Amino acid sequence: MSKFGTSQPVTRLEDTRFLTGKGRYVDDIAPEGALHAFVFRSTAAHGVITALDVSEAREAPGVHLVLTAEDLAQAGLKNAMKYAPVKNGDGSRPPLPARPVLAEGRVRFVGEPVAFVVADSLAQAKDAAELIILELEDRPAKLDIAPGGEVLHEVAPDNVAYDFAMGDAAATEAALAGAAHVVTHTSHDNRVIVNSMEPRGCYAEPEGERIHLAVNGQGVWGTKGELAKWFGWSEDRVRVTNPDVGGGFGMKGMNYPENLLAAQAARMLGRPVRWMGERTESMLSDNGGRDLIVTTTLGFDADLKLVAFRTDSLSNMGAYPSNFGMNIQSSLYSKVLTGTYDVQTYHFRNRGIYTSTTQIDAYRGAGRPEAIYALERAMDFAARELGVDPLELRRRNFIASAQFPYRSATGELYDVGDFHRVLTRAEAEADVAGFAKRRAASEAQGKLRGLGLCYYIESILGDPSETATIEITATGAKVYVGTQSNGQGHETVYAQLLHDQTGLPLDAIEIVQGDSDLIAHGGGTGGSRSVTVQGMAMRATAETLITGLSAFLAEDMDRADIGFDAEEGVFRAPGSNVVVTLIEAAGRARAAGRPDLAKVTETRTLPGRSYPNGCHITEVEIDRDTGAVRVDRYTVVDDFGNLMNPRLAEGQVHGGVVQGIGQALTEHVVFDDTGQLLTATFMDYGMPRADDAPFIAFHTEPVPSTANPLGMKGCGEAGTVGALAAVANAVQDALWPLGVRQVDMPFTPARVWDMLQKPARIAAE
C-alpha cells in the first residue's frame, strides 16, 4: 500500500465508465421534453444592422420563443458579457467596449449570435431561423494585427484594446546600447481553433423560483455568479452544474452567450431548454487561441551573458474582449517573460488589437506557451547568430540552483529549480551527441534534419485557495472538490490522495464535483492548479477528520492512547485487540450525535505558486522536394516535483506535446479578406493525427516544490509550453545551412517548400 505522496502509476478509475459508454455528458442528460435552441448567427464579419425581422420565425411551426437584443432590453437584462480588463502601461484604463450577448447595432465577426430560437425540435428551430431577415450595411473587415484600419468600436478608434507595459524602458535601452551583442528576432504565434472532443453545450431548467444551468465547463462558480448578477438575483437562486466534460483546454473556462440565453429562455417559458453546438458552429464561435506577433531583443555581454531583454508584441483580441482575453498576452504572459534566465533589466510592451474575428482567450497554457515560444525562439536564433551551441548559450544564462528562491525580473518568486541538471539529463536521453550521425544519414537520403531545443518554465495560475469536504459514508467516502475534471483523471488522483491518508480502498472513494449546491465555492480547473491546490485542501481535511475521530474514540472508549493506522485504515489502541475501522468510527460518531465528525470541510491557500519546468528536445526531417516536415524523435525531461501518479502525468505531457506539434505543423486558421473563416470544418482545418506524432520519451528530474506541502508542481499544460519552440527551432536548424533565417508556424508542406525557395530567389535578385 502506498504512503501519502508516493509515486504510484494507478490506472485511471474513470476510464471504465467512459470506455463502456457510461459517461454522462450534457447532451446525454438534458431533461425529457426539453425544448431545443438554435443560434442565428451573423454570416458577415462586419456590418451595421439596418433591419432585423424575426416575426415570421416566431410564427413558424413548433417555435416557442425567439430572443433578440431588443427582447433582452425589454426584460430588463443588460446586453453585455463579463470580462476582466487590464490597465495600460501608464496606469490608465483602456477603452472598454461592451461585448453583447446578442448583436446590437452592428455585427463584428462571422458567427456572432444575433437571435436565439427555441422550438419543440432542433429541426424546427433551424427552419425558423431560415425565416429571420437580417439586413446589413456592409463594412470592411479589420483583419491585420496592427493599430489602425477599419474601426470596430468607436471607443477604440485605433482598434487598440489596451497598451500594457512592464519594466524600465530607459534602463533597458541603455543596457542594450552598451551590450557587446544585440540580437533581435520576430516570431508569429499562429491562431488555433481549440476543438475539444465535445463541443460546447448546456441546458437550463426552472426549479421553482430558481434556475438550474448545466454546462460542460471548467467550473461552476464563475458562471453561477455571472448568471445571478445578470438576472439581478441573489446567488442562492442559481444552481450551476458540470456533468462529465469532454475536454476544455481553457476554451471552456469562461461563460458564453448561449448559457445566459438558455437560462433566460427557460425562465420565460417555464420549461427546460437545451442547446448543443455543432462542429462548424463551434469553430466559428468558440474562443480561439494564440495569434500574436512578438519582437524580442536580447542584449549579451562579451561572455554571452544576458544583460537586457526587451519584448514588444501585438496580440489579436478578436472582435470583443472576452473573459480573460485582455490578460492572456499581458499579465499572464509576463509571469514567465524571462524564462529560466538570470536577467533583471527588461521592458515588456503588449498591445491588444481588435479584429473582425472570433475572440481570443485561454488555450492550454494561457500566455505561458506564447512567452516561452518567443523567448526560446529568440535564444536559439541568438545562438546561431553568435556562433555558439544553443545548449551552451542556455547554460551560460540559467539561474543557478544556489540562487533559489529567485525573484524574477517581473516579480515572480521561483521557489526551487535545477535547470542545469534537467538540461544535462535531456541532452543524454535525446542522444544529442549522436545527432550529427543521424543528420548525415538523412542527408544521404536527400533530406534535411534539424535538432530543436526548448527549455520552458511555467507558472501555476488561478485561485490559490481551495476547499475540500470529506464525508465518511456507510461504504466508504465522498470527497467534494472545487475543481472540475475535463478528462485529466482527477477522480483517480484525488482517490489516491485520500487512500494514502485513510487506507480506504480506491473503489470506495467517490469524487463529487461540479455542483454549486453541493460545494459552497471553488476555483474550477485551469492554470494547472488542480492537484496542488485541491490536494493541499484534501490533505488538511483528512487530517482534521482523523484528528477529530481519534479524539472522539479516545473519549468514547476511554482510551487516551488510541491512534490511527493509515496503512490499514483503522484506529488501534496499543497493547489491546481494540480495532475500529474509519467507517465504524464515523458511524459511532453519528450515533453519538456528532455527525460533524464524519463530514469535515477545510479550506487552504497555497503560500506560493509552483513553477514546473523542463527541457524538450526534438528532431525533424524535411523532404526537400515537397517541404513535408516529420517529427522523428521527441524527448522530454520535466521537473514536476513529487508525482502522485506518473502515468497520468505522462499522459498529460503526451497530450500537450501533440497539441503543440499540431499547432507547429498542421493547424492553420485562415480567413479570407472579407473575414470569412475558410477553415471551418475538419476537411479544411488540419488537426494533428496519429502519424504526425512520434514516440514521446518522458522522463522526470524532480525538485520538490516548497510552495505547497505536497511538493508537487502542476503538469497539465507543460507539454504544450515546451513543444512549440522545440519543433520550430528544429525546423530552423534544418533550414539554417541553406540561408533561411525566418521560419514561422505552421510548418505545412506548402509553407516550408516556399521557405526552401526563398534563398534561391534572394540569390537571383
Q: What are the residue ranges spanned by the domains of the chain?
A: 35-139+197-247+252-285, 369-461+610-764, 462-605
| Residue recorded with cell 541553406 | 738
Model pLDDT, residue 677:
98
- Per-residue pLDDT tens for 323-379? 999 999 999 999 999 999 999 999 999 999 999 999 999 999 999 999 999 999 999
DSSP H stretches of helix in 160-306: 169-177, 221-231, 257-269, 279-285
Distance CA 291, CA 667 (A): 12
Model pLDDT, residue 558:
82
Question: Phi, psi (5° rounding) for residue 159?
Answer: 65, 15
Model pLDDT, residue 1:
34
What string of DSSP letters covers 630-692? EEEEEEEEEE-BS-S-HHHHHHHHHHHHHHHHHHHHT----B-TTS-BS--STTTS----GGG
CA dist list (Å): 709 to 225, 500, 535, 546: 31, 15, 9, 18
Give the CATH fold of the 35-139+197-247+252-285 domain: Aldehyde Oxidoreductase; domain 3 (3.90.1170)
Q: Write the class of the CATH domain 369-461+610-764.
A: alpha beta
218 Cβ contact list (under 8 Å, min separation 6):
242, 245, 248, 250, 252, 253, 484, 486, 524, 525, 526
Residue 698: Cβ within 10 Å count: 20
- Which DSSP category does 218 fall into? S
CA dist list (Å): 693 to 654, 655, 661: 9, 10, 7
Type of residue numbered 378: A
Model pLDDT, residue 3:
40
Model pLDDT, residue 552:
95
CATH 3.30.365.10: does it fit domain 462-605?
A: yes
Name the β-bridge partners of 349.
Answer: 165, 312
Type of residue numbered 759: P
Distance CA 152, CA 167 (A): 31
Taking the CA of residue 297 as centre, how many other CA atoms within 13 Å lie in the half-sphere pointing to its CB? 20
Taking the CA of residue 195 as centre, how many other CA atoms within 13 Å lie in the half-sphere pointing to its CB? 18
Q: Is residue 244 within 8 Å of 25, Cβ to Cβ?
A: yes
- What does pTM read for this prediction? 0.95
Using left for φ > 0, alpha for ψ between -120 and 50, and beta otherwise, residue 190 falls in: beta
Model pLDDT, residue 553:
94
Model pLDDT, residue 683:
96
- Which DSSP category does 147 fall into? S
Model pLDDT, residue 526:
81
Residue 588: Cβ within 10 Å count: 18
Model pLDDT, residue 7:
63
Model pLDDT, residue 716:
87
Domains 35-139+197-247+252-285 and 369-461+610-764 share a fold: no
The parts of the chain modelled with pLDDT lower than 50 are 1-6
